[in-house]
Chains A and B, each alone.
Chain A
Amino acid sequence: MATVDVDLPHVKEEDQHHHGPAKGLGRWLYTTNHKDIGSMYLIFSLCMFMIGGIMALIIRAELFQPGLQLVEPNFFNQMTTMHGLIMVFGAVMPAFVGLANWMIPMQVGAPDMALPRMNNWSFWILPFAFLILLSSLFMPGGAPNFGWTFYAPLSTTYAPESVTFFIFGVHIMGASSIMGAINIIATILNMRAPGMTLLRMPLFVWTWLITAFLLIAVMPVLAGVVTMMLMDIHFGTSFFNAAGGGDPVLFQHVFWFFGHPEVYIMILPAFGIISEIIPTFARKRLFGYASMVYAVASIALLSFVVWAHHMFTVGMPLVGEVFFMFATMLIAVPTGVKVFNWVATMFRGSLTFETPMLFALAFVVLFTIGGFSGLMLAIAPADFQYHDTYFVVAHFHYVLVPGAIFSIMAATYYWLPKWTGHQLNETMGKIHFWLSFVGVNITFFPMHFVGLAGMPRRIPDYALQFADFNSMASVGAFIFGFSQLVFIYNVIQNVRVGEKATAQVWEGAQGLEWTVPSPAPYHTFSTPPKVD
């Protein structure tokens, strides 16, 4: 507190000239500035990405060869569980919220988020949620070890004691996400500059608007399911306990009713980012803007009626299998439209290949490969062979790593000059891109093969015929993992030094964020711009 008191007169003095940030730690604790909060989300996400990444490397190191070498099976299960939870809730989601905080007000011409104090709160509870979750690693009995999907009764009757901390952590994360989503919706619906009608909004804003509605719809479902677990564990209920008349399959229905929209929460903002970047570097307007918006909206709606495709082997009635198979296949249509539109945007454009564009192009190709394996998984009879094998692991890592994560990296490189005021070091950016691109494919492509050949997922040790491709995947994982140090280096260097960036930054960039100077002043659009 003392520092704040000391600094206060100084800040007031500065205020006469411009509303600059406060000094010292207080700036970050008390800030209500969307740019500060956006930066904190992004830095937090990067830390979680590293922690989750270290866990992935522990997993891949154990799987480098058959036999148990480094970790015990119970610890291995803790690693797979924590890796999944941290990457989903700690890395990917906060990164998108961080990008939303930074860019949405600037893209719609608003001075800040609609609810700035809640914005501060929704960020600052996150580190505590993850401290609680991570602290469970040091508890007797160990961290949660039941998979990130935490199926009951393994996660209730048979769970380690730390499951209660996990439940508390998930509740806080959910509250943070819901507040973030409310803030984004309120900002987009109320604070657009005059003339910016809904159908003139940048695609990133559109995809985030739809994502925010998905978050509000399903995070309470997640909160509900973990509360039911809490009741089963501590208060003698039997929601998921067959011996007490409960239903373990109910857990899966409720979980995936949250879980499938959650999957799209992690990819729709990515669609928005790619739809910003490709037109910039193709120097051509996005093809089929309206159909892009409708495609995202229909993907979001369909996401509520496909959840049981994660459960084809639980013994659903035949009609259930057929319904969920058809509904799932339907999602391929709007997803296909998006890919076709991106390609059509490039067609007869004027392309250059700066780092953000390279990541965007890799996204289109590799996300589409993940989409193809998704389509294969939708075929219910074949899913009986794919389900819970490494084929599924390959599938969702293709849509999440070179999908969601590549889009976040593309967005970072794309908007970094706007944030820091320094042009990118293209050489270092390209080194990072190529190492990541090669690493990600060596890691995840062979997983298709071992999965089809019959290797189940979430096992610490495997039969000998899977050995060769597993070694390969492990080598790839270390290449991918360590190449992220180049990313961190690039970002830190860009913050510190670099050629002065212009307001426009990229020749072909369109949109309000490119009308403000680089670096963007602490307060932008205090007077709304006119859009026409």
Chain B
Amino acid sequence: MTKAITLAISLIAAPASADWQINMNQGVTALSREIFDLHMLIFWICVVIGVAVFGVMFYSIFKFRKSKGAVAEHWHENTTVEVVWTVIPSIILIAMAIPATATLMDMYDTSEADVEIQVTGHQWKWRYQYLDEDIDFFSNLATSRQEITNEAAKNPNYLLEVDNPLVIPANKKVRFLITANDVIHSWWVPHFAVKKDAIPGFINESWVKVEEPGVYRGQCTELCGKDHGFMPIVVEVKSEADYQQWVSDQRAMKLAMAGEASKEFSMNELVAKGEGVYNTACAGCHQPNGQGIPGAFPAITGSTIATGAIDTHVDIIINGKSGTAMQAFREQLSAVDIAAVVTYQRNALGNSVGDLVQPNTIKN
């Protein structure tokens, strides 16, 4: 507590550390540092004006008290003073706006990018598509539900961890093409000073050039529904060599996955795999126990779709249901995942239909 008060009073740029961080992160790019400097400049301008105004005010409060015998004077206007305190702030503001405009121009210069990545906001996950590499994946919250509901200890990256982080190379200009699939989201990584709204029907641009490899974390910053607070962003910045290695690993993984899709799975394999898929992709709305939320999200347990014809069941997962929050999972899940989750929903969560579906019968 004492520490908090000391920090609060000092109001000085503290190093980005500890739980009592009080200032903006300087970030890890030239642009983020420029923005930080603007932030500190305008902050100090406010401090100077504040000290002057509050100084005179508190001087008056202590000096011109009736209880000390102060008698009010009668003047109530002074054109010179009024002009002065109109003109001086105007000049300060213009002086402030010039460097700000210069920084804005840098932020808007998205030309000559080395890597281009499309970022798409979905309720409540991010999709990253590397436009030159044929890499395409979804990035979901990785924090366990037990941690959120206080049944397990929270790890240091609580709510700021994902299953598949975005990977970008260091010292390259990376251009982001930002859009959304359903509602408006906003993609923000504080250390990059990149925040851009992801809007359905629009493609916004932003860029970053990170000097040092590292892991940087951010969050969605536009209210996008129930799990707005649970769709973090993790960016791994790798050296050029590591990045190339990662790209070729991704290609190899893709081939391996294509091979999986033609295999035959047992019921137990599918249900076991399906549980993981369900908790990542479905439980947010339909709830981990399959009960849904009455009035908002239907239950899986006993649902006519999950206990009815298997083709209808597969179809709604692949194509979604337009006009509702039920998304099309065609591009989010592999054939194996879809087969697994369908089998899981039919044979768990209180359902026991007894049939299963193989990945090779799923036609995306």
User: Residue B104 contacts which of A68, A242, A321 (CB distance < 8 angstroms)?
Assistant: A321
**Contact between chains at B86 and A333 (CB < 8 Å):** yes
Interface presence of A339 (CB below 8 A): yes
A290's closest neighbor in chain B, by CB? Answer: B77
CB neighbours of B230 from chain A (8 A): 73, 461
**Contact between chains at A387 and B221 (CB < 8 Å):** yes
Interface pairs (17), CB distance under 8 Å? A73-B230, A74-B293, A154-B224, A157-B323, A158-B123, A248-B200, A314-B197, A326-B97, A337-B85, A340-B85, A350-B70, A364-B57, A379-B96, A379-B100, A381-B34, A384-B195, A388-B221
Please measure, in the bound complex, the distance between the C-alpha atom of A169 and the C-alpha atom of B198, giving whole angstroms: 30
Interface presence of A529 (CB below 8 A): no
**Contact between chains at B22 and A453 (CB < 8 Å):** yes
A246's closest neighbor in chain B, by CB? Answer: B201
Contacts A289-B76, A340-B85 hold; do A458 and B228 have CB atoms under 8 A apart? yes
**Contact between chains at A329 and B105 (CB < 8 Å):** no
Going nearest first, the 5 A-B pairs with the smallest beta carbon separation are A242-B201, A459-B229, A140-B295, A141-B295, A315-B204
CB neighbours of A511 from chain B (8 A): none
Please measure, in the bound complex, the distance between the C-alpha atom of A389 and the C-alpha atom of B325, giving whole angstroms: 26
Contacts A73-B226, A337-B85 hold; do A381 and B66 have CB atoms under 8 A apart? no
Interface presence of B294 (CB below 8 A): yes
Instruction: Enumerate B26-53 residues with CB–CB distance to A below 8 Å.
Output: 34-35, 38-39, 42-43, 46, 49-50, 53
**Contact between chains at B46 and A140 (CB < 8 Å):** no
Interface presence of B156 (CB below 8 A): yes
Instruction: Enumerate A144-199 residues with CB–CB distance to B below 8 Å.
Output: 145-147, 151, 153-154, 157-158, 160-161
Interface presence of A231 (CB below 8 A): no
Interface size of B in residues (CB-CB distance below 8 Å): 102
**Contact between chains at A337 and B86 (CB < 8 Å):** yes
Minimal beta-carbon separation of A395 from chain B (angstroms)? 12
Contacts A349-B70, A381-B34, A382-B35 hold; do A243 and B200 have CB atoms under 8 A apart? yes
User: Residue A461 contacts which of B148, B188, B293 (CB distance < 8 angstroms)?
Assistant: B148
Please measure, in the bound complex, the distance between the C-alpha atom of A523 and the C-alpha atom of B221, giving whole angstroms: 54
CB neighbours of B156 from chain A (8 A): 464
Instruction: Enumerate B154-179 residues with CB–CB distance to A below 8 Å.
Output: 154, 156-160
Interface presence of B202 (CB below 8 A): yes
Contacts A350-B71, A376-B39 hold; do A452 and B23 have CB atoms under 8 A apart? yes
**Contact between chains at B227 and A350 (CB < 8 Å):** no
**Contact between chains at B325 and A379 (CB < 8 Å):** no
Contacts A288-B77, A346-B61, A350-B66 hold; do A336 and B200 have CB atoms under 8 A apart? no
**Contact between chains at A318 and B293 (CB < 8 Å):** no
Which of A27-35, A109-117, A278-286, A412-420 interfaces with chain B?
Answer: A278-286
Count how many pairs of residues, one from A and one from B, have CB atoms less than 8 Å apart in the complex.
Answer: 301
Contacts A321-B104, A349-B64, A463-B158 hold; do A74 and B39 have CB atoms under 8 A apart? no
**Contact between chains at B104 and A151 (CB < 8 Å):** no
Q: Mark B169-209, 1 if CB is under 8 A from A, else 0.
A: 00000000000001110101010011111011110110000
Please measure, in the bound complex, the distance between the C-alpha atom of A49 and the C-alpha atom of B361, giving whole angstroms: 59
Minimal beta-carbon separation of B51 from chain A (angstroms)? 11
Please measure, in the bound complex, the distance between the C-alpha atom of A385 and the C-alpha atom of B294, giving whole angstroms: 38
Interface residues on A, range: 35 or more
**Contact between chains at B226 and A343 (CB < 8 Å):** no
User: Residue A456 contacts which of B4, B123, B221 (CB distance < 8 angstroms)?
Assistant: B221
**Contact between chains at B93 and A333 (CB < 8 Å):** yes
Interface presence of A393 (CB below 8 A): no
**Contact between chains at B150 and A389 (CB < 8 Å):** no
Contacts A151-B184, A288-B77 hold; do A67 and B53 have CB atoms under 8 A apart? no
Please measure, in the bound complex, the distance between the C-alpha atom of A389 and the C-alpha atom of B226, giving whole angstroms: 18
Q: Which residues of chain A have a CB within 8 Å of any CB of chain B? A: 66-69, 72-74, 77, 139-142, 145-147, 151, 153-154, 157-158, 160-161, 242-243, 246-249, 282-291, 313-315, 318, 321-322, 325-326, 329-330, 332-333, 336-337, 339-340, 343-352, 361, 364-365, 368-369, 372, 375-376, 379-382, 384-385, 387-389, 445-446, 448-449, 452-454, 456-469, 472
CB neighbours of A365 from chain B (8 A): 54, 57
Contacts A160-B296, A384-B107 hold; do A348 and B73 have CB atoms under 8 A apart? yes
CB neighbours of A67 from chain B (8 A): 147-150, 154
CB neighbours of B293 from chain A (8 A): 72, 74
Interface presence of B241 (CB below 8 A): no
Please measure, in the bound complex, the distance between the C-alpha atom of A315 and the C-alpha atom of B4, giving whole angstroms: 37
User: Residue A315 contacts which of B57, B66, B100, B202 (CB distance < 8 angstroms)?
Assistant: B202
CB neighbours of A142 from chain B (8 A): 295-296
B325's closest neighbor in chain A, by CB? Answer: A158
**Contact between chains at A322 and B42 (CB < 8 Å):** no
**Contact between chains at A146 and B150 (CB < 8 Å):** no
Minimal beta-carbon separation of A104 from chain B (angstroms)? 23
Minimal beta-carbon separation of A257 from chain B (angstroms)? 18
Contacts A376-B46, A449-B22, A456-B188 hold; do A315 and B72 have CB atoms under 8 A apart? no
**Contact between chains at B199 and A351 (CB < 8 Å):** no
Q: Mark B72-99, 1 if CB is under 8 A from A, else 0.
A: 1111111001100110011001001100
B40's closest neighbor in chain A, by CB? Answer: A382
CB neighbours of B224 from chain A (8 A): 154
CB neighbours of B61 from chain A (8 A): 346, 351, 361
Minimal beta-carbon separation of B191 from chain A (angstroms)? 9
**Contact between chains at A68 and B149 (CB < 8 Å):** yes
**Contact between chains at A249 and B53 (CB < 8 Å):** no
